[in-house]
Amino acid sequence: MKTKIIILAFLLTAGSFSSCKKFLELQPYGQPAELNNLSDGQAMQAVYALFYWQYREGTLGRGFMWYENCSDNFVTGRTQAEAQNIKNFVDEGSHGRDVRDNWPQMYETINYANNLLKSAPTANKLSERVRNSVLGHAYFMRGFAYLWLAPWYGDNGPNGGIPIVTEETPIDQMDVLRPASVLENYNMIIDDLQKASDLLPWFDEMSQNEWGLMHKTAAWSLMARAALYAAQYDASYYDKVIEYSNRVINSGKHSLVPSYKTLFEIESNWSPEYIMSATSTEIDGSKLPGVIFQNGGFGIYNTWGYFQPTVELLKAFEPNDQRLKVSIVQPGDTIQFVGNQIVWAVNPSSVSSPTALTIGKYLAPFRDADAVGKTVNPNSDNGTTDLSIPIIRYADVLLMKAEALIWKGQNGDEPLNLVRQRAGLPAITNATKEDLKRERRCEFVLEFGVFRHLDLVRWGDAQSVYAQPLHGYKVNLSGTTITSLDEIEVWPARNFNPAVHHVFPIPNREIAKGVNLKQNKGY
């Protein structure tokens, strides 16, 4: 199914109709104006095209990771002025690089989903199963697209939510006013995902060539995530987080992979822990694995060297936490990279990371000598791999439930300790908010969907955390022996204004496309 999605998405793009470039008026991917007279197979091609955002740099390459790079977990691994402006909260909406592409790409997806929702109910040749799949995926991807944008740009005042367009919005009225509150977005997201779950199958009811399509527990998991973001404005949503998380847990369809070490191996792509992921191959997919690691890949394979971990992240891990070795490569660690043995920051001694640390989580596909062209894209400007990148895992569902319970003053030990014990850590009794915050930080390093920056903002911690400088190591060597690691400052303290910087500026080129879309206050 992975290859099918990639091929069909590009086939549909190649046959695209001309489109108007005004705000929200795009007809992306050459979708049919209606589904009448299309066969089941042709209608499913329209469903596959809903996934085209997965293969674009602005979404699952660097994309929103420039925003996550604002967190205390990472620094910009190489000189990049626009990325540095974003991290330092001085960008005014120019949004160079890929983050500016998220808004139009997701509204294209919303518009495409709306067209399917309009045409599928009356399509005269579709079987009931395919009609349900078309409608279910259209509701799912519309909800997902709004959820991909809303936490970054919307609030409960003074800015409000992000523009809502549905299948009922006339084409000449798509330049709509922003809703008064982002809670309107979250409510719509939850409603869309509920409709999707009613129409979609369980994952284990799908044939193998359908893997990568959506299913009931994926919808419920994202409902929990939407409710978690909404709860920062209205604590009653914590009850919804618990309800939706329990649906996933009680379904019996998912479990934790026993070893965190194997979680990011290609063989775990379709494990019961991966609820939704960016299905990727050596042909195309998420470019995140190629974005990290050494800039230039030591002349072996051209990885790009962005998003390097900080000493602050390193120190967040408890002793004996098995997630540390998987997530972060430290000076002196030995790794295999396209058949070459590398002792990080020792042999070769020079590394591009300013912290002398790098991300190890997505390196498995690069391990073997014949990796390039087999498990890694032969084009290093499109550094995708056969490892699917998680968007939501079962561990996230457990920790969302734990957080909701703890924030309600109840006991969240059971779901939290399932995650801790898999990491080789002892159980906690009467887990606190600080315990929960640490678990989320250490479990989801550089994963799409679980963004530490958004966590710090919604917890009210961002201003104090970002007022502290960030650190790395200077590695001192005698030959090939590390004699000492000196902790050094690699990023100065930043001024985070919670009245402004709790959201990012909408890309200016999107503001310029219409009349009613207004920029967030302070930008």
Q: What local confidence, expressed as pLDDT, does residue 5 receive? A: 42
- Give the pLDDT band (50/70/90) at residue 171: confident
Q: What local confidence, expressed as pLDDT, does residue 443 receive? A: 98
Tell me the C-alpha distance between 79 and 358, whole Å.
Answer: 16
Q: How many Å separate Cα 369 from the centre of its chain? A: 29
Mean of pLDDT values over 262-267: 96
Q: What is the DSSP track for 349-388?
A: ---S-TTS-EE-TT-GGG-STT-BTTTB-S-GGG--BSSP
Q: What local confidence, expressed as pLDDT, does residue 170 receive? A: 87
What is the H or E stretch that residue 391 is in?
Answer: strand 389-393
Tell me the C-alpha distance between 425 and 411, whole Å.
Answer: 19
Q: Could you tell me if 414 and 403 are in contact, meaning their C-beta atoms sit under 8 angstroms apart? A: no
Q: What local confidence, expressed as pLDDT, does residue 29 receive? A: 36
Total count of residues recorded for the chain: 523
470 has a pLDDT exceeding 70: yes
Q: What is the DSSP track for 34-59?
A: --TT--HHHHHHHHHHTTGGGGSHHH
Mean of pLDDT values over 462-474: 98
Residues 6+ positions from 409 with CB-CB distance below 8 Å: none
Mean of pLDDT values over 124-138: 96
Give 332-346 pLDDT, tens digit per residue.
999 999 999 999 999
Closest CA to 313 of 207, 185, 468, 482: 468
For residue 298, give the DSSP letter.
Answer: G
Mean of pLDDT values over 122-149: 97
Q: What is the DSSP track for 434-446?
A: HHHHHHHHHH-TT
Q: What local confidence, expressed as pLDDT, does residue 15 receive? A: 30
- Give the pLDDT band (50/70/90) at residue 161: very high
Tell me the C-alpha distance between 253 and 199, whole Å.
Answer: 17
For residue 330, give the DSSP letter.
Answer: -
Greater pLDDT, 7 or 459: 459
Percent of the chain with pLDDT over 90: 85
Provide the whole-model pTM: 0.94
Tell me the C-alpha distance between 405 and 414, whole Å.
Answer: 10
Closest CA to 390 of 258, 520, 288: 288
Q: What local confidence, expressed as pLDDT, does residue 3 receive? A: 44
Give 395-431 pLDDT, tens digit per residue.
999 999 999 999 999 999 999 999 999 999 999 999 9
Residues 6+ positions from 426 with CB-CB distance below 8 Å: 420
Least confident of 17-26, 168-177, 294-303, 394-403: 17-26
Q: What local confidence, expressed as pLDDT, does residue 33 receive? A: 52
Give 7-63 pLDDT, tens digit per residue.
333 333 323 222 222 323 333 334 545 788 899 999 998 999 899 888 888 888 888
Give 196-244 pLDDT, tens digit per residue.
999 999 999 999 999 999 999 999 999 999 999 999 999 999 999 999 9
Measured in Å, how far apart are the chain's first and last C-alpha atoms?
Answer: 43
Q: What local confidence, expressed as pLDDT, does residue 39 receive? A: 93
Mean of pLDDT values over 161-187: 94
505 has a pLDDT exceeding 80: yes
Q: Is 347 helix (H, G, I), strand (E, B) or coil?
A: strand
Give 428-441 pLDDT, tens digit per residue.
999 999 999 999 99
Greater pLDDT, 324 or 37: 324
- Give the pLDDT band (50/70/90) at residue 4: very low
Q: What local confidence, expressed as pLDDT, does residue 21 receive? A: 29
Q: What local confidence, expressed as pLDDT, does residue 478 receive? A: 97
Greater pLDDT, 26 or 262: 262
CA angle (343 as vertex; 341, 346 as ends), nearest 5: 140
Give 54-95 pLDDT, tens digit per residue.
888 888 888 889 999 999 999 999 988 889 999 999 998 877
Q: Could you tell me if 23 and 510 are in contact, meaning their C-beta atoms sit under 8 angstroms apart? A: yes
Q: What is the mean pLDDT of the chain?
A: 92
| Rama region for 410: left / alpha / beta (φ>0; ψ in -120 to 50; rest) | beta
Tell me the C-alpha distance between 141 and 325, whole Å.
Answer: 35
- Give the pLDDT band (50/70/90) at residue 186: very high
